[in-house]
């Protein structure tokens, strides 16, 4: 294993006999190597076929290798891959205009991931209060069970302790309060509060849609106290919940919102969107990204947004979501292992009476891929163009998996 060279520490390189991989073990990986994808389907290196109801975790919203996006990416590959943001990038202007033209936002900052988009949002909120408003406000209030990313600031914003373990000290200026607890939220607001950041459906945290009255109360509190409202649409955006962005369900106009997963159909890209009055908070040099908004990624983003609009993907997600929910309720309604089925559009959680990891693994053996959201919740994230037949097939498989699991557990 080792090549005999000494590391700066006392151990010899490669003395870790247990390691079977050259990767850091940040993921407990399934024993499957996927090698090809098309639409709702994936194939592994042994030729097994899988119905994809996770979409790389809400990423491939148009299915695998969508034709129009692929065509635009290939054309861009022949022209230009990368230039610095010190230059004009027409493709970036086009992608930004597609976003502002179809949302309540006026300005866009492109980056490479959801965490980076949320970092940009946190930085913009602080800088707006400190540079434009001239106050010292800096604190961001978030919610228990939320998920906002893995950088030091965004894992601090995240309302789940498990992502923070071993990473002390955490940056200052973050507080989490329980979702739907208005008195706790009011009590948390102080002279230092700059913004409230929330997901419209807590996705990683267990698929919990936020209640309308609570959203309205949060918005009212933001107005009353002069706070910015940041909506994390990294998972819920790009049509996933049945609207292009989930905050549209609530008639909400956030000051800032972020997007990433579905934005590039699998190409790594993120964006922070904001209202025009926030523009002046970021001046030249105050924030940036080497790879944010390059010609290559922007060709994919523009083609993805255009395809989502042309295919009416949000409406289709709403309709397919209703149908999937109805079918799941029909098949699993009275099942003793199923505690509840909830979600919005094609972000659906099946809360169970116990751990569901065995069900995920057995599903893989039978040819269907889905994920969890916490230990007891099965999370379904099919692509937005999924067909009725594919939904029927998935429901049949998932219902059988859960029924057999319940029978084994003698529920
Ligand atoms: C996945 C996710 C993130 C983090 O996105 P990365 O691209 O992994 O950095 C942030 N917020 C939400 C709601 C997410 O689902």
Q: Read off the pTM.
A: 0.95
Distance from residue 148's CA to the centre of ligand 1 (Å): 6
| Tens digit of pLDDT at every position of the chain (411 positions) | 444 455 555 556 655 556 789 999 999 999 999 999 999 999 999 999 999 999 999 999 999 999 999 999 999 999 999 999 999 999 999 999 999 999 999 999 999 999 999 999 999 999 999 999 999 999 999 999 999 999 999 999 999 999 999 999 999 999 999 999 999 999 999 999 999 999 999 999 999 999 999 999 999 999 999 999 999 999 999 999 999 999 999 999 999 999 999 999 999 999 999 999 999 999 999 999 999 999 999 999 999 999 999 999 999 999 999 999 999 999 999 999 999 999 999 999 999 999 999 999 999 999 999 999 999 999 999 999 999 999 999 999 999 999 999 998 877
Distance from residue 210's CA to the centre of ligand 1 (Å): 18
Structure-block tokens of residue 57: 């975790």
| Three-state secondary-structure class, residue 64 | strand
Q: What is the CATH number of domain 67-310?
A: 3.40.640.10
List, in sequence order, every beta strand (DSSP E) within 92-232.
107-111, 139-143, 174-177, 193-198, 201-202, 208-209, 228-232
Q: What is the pLDDT of residue 411?
A: 72
* Domain-wise residue ranges, the chain: 30-62+312-410, 67-310
What are the residues facing 377 on neighbouring strands?
Answer: 351
CB of 232 shorter than 6 A to ligand 1: yes
Distance from residue 301's CA to the centre of ligand 1 (Å): 17
Query: Over the stretch 198-252, which tens digit does the pLDDT of each residue have?
Result: 999 999 999 999 999 999 999 999 999 999 999 999 999 999 999 999 999 999 9
Q: What is the CATH number of domain 30-62+312-410?
A: 3.90.1150.10
CB of 231 shorter than 6 A to ligand 1: no
Structure-block tokens of residue 175: 């507080």
CB of 199 shorter than 6 A to ligand 1: yes
Q: State the closest ligand 1 atom to the C-alpha of 260, by its place in the atom list counted from 1.
A: 7
Q: Which residues of 390-409 are buried (b: 16+ CB within 10 A; e: fewer)?
A: bbebbbebbbebbbebbeee
Distance separating alpha carbons of residues 235 and 219, to the nearest angstrom: 21
CB of 383 shorter than 6 A to ligand 1: no
pLDDT averaged over every residue in the chain: 95
């Amino acid at each position: 294993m080792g090549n005999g060279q000494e590391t700066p520490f006392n151990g010899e390189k490669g003395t870790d006999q247990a390691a079977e991989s050259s990767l850091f073990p940040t993921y407990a990986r399934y024993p499957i190597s996927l090698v090809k994808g098309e639409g709702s389907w994936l194939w592994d290196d042994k030729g097994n076929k899988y119905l994809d109801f996770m979409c790389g975790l809400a990423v491939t919203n148009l299915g695998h290798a969508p034709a129009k996006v692929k065509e635009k990416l290939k054309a861009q590959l022949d022209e230009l891959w990368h230039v610095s943001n010190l230059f004009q990038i027409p493709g970036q202007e086009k992608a930004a205009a597609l976003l502002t033209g179809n949302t309540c936002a006026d300005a866009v900052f492109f980056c490479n991931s959801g965490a980076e988009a949320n970092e940009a949002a946190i930085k913009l909120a602080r800088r707006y209060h400190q540079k434009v408003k001239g106050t010292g406000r800096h604190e961001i209030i978030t919610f228990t069970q939320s998920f906002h990313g893995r950088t030091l600031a965004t894992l601090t914003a995240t309302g789940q302790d498990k992502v923070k373990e071993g990473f002390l000290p955490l940056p200052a200026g973050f507080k989490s309060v329980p979702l739907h607890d208005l008195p706790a939220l009011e009590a948390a607001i102080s002279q230092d509060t700059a913004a409230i950041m929330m997901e419209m459906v807590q996705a990683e945290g267990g698929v919990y849609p936020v209640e309308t009255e609570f959203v309205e109360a949060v918005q009212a509190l933001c107005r009353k106290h002069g706070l910015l409202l940041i909506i994390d649409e990294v998972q819920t955006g790009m049509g996933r919940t049945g609207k292009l962005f989930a905050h549209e369900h609530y008639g909400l106009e956030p000051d800032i919102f972020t997007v990433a997963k579905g934005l590039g159909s699998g190409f790594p890209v993120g964006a922070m969107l904001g209202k025009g009055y926030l523009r002046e908070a970021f001046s030249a040099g105050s924030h940036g990204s080497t790879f944010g908004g390059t010609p290559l990624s922007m060709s994919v983003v523009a083609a993805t947004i255009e395809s989502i609009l042309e295919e009416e993907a949000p409406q289709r997600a709403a309709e397919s979501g209703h149908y999937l929910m109805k079918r799941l309720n029909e098949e699993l309604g009275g099942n003793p292992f199923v505690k509840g089925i909830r979600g919005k559009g094609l972000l659906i959680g099946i809360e169970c009476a116990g751990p569901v990891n065995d069900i995920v693994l057995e599903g893989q053996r039978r040819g269907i891929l889905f994920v969890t959201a916490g230990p007891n919740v099965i999370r379904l994230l099919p692509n937005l163009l999924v067909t009725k037949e594919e939904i029927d097939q998935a429901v049949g498989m998932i219902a059988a998996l859960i029924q057999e699991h319940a029978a084994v557990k003698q529920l």
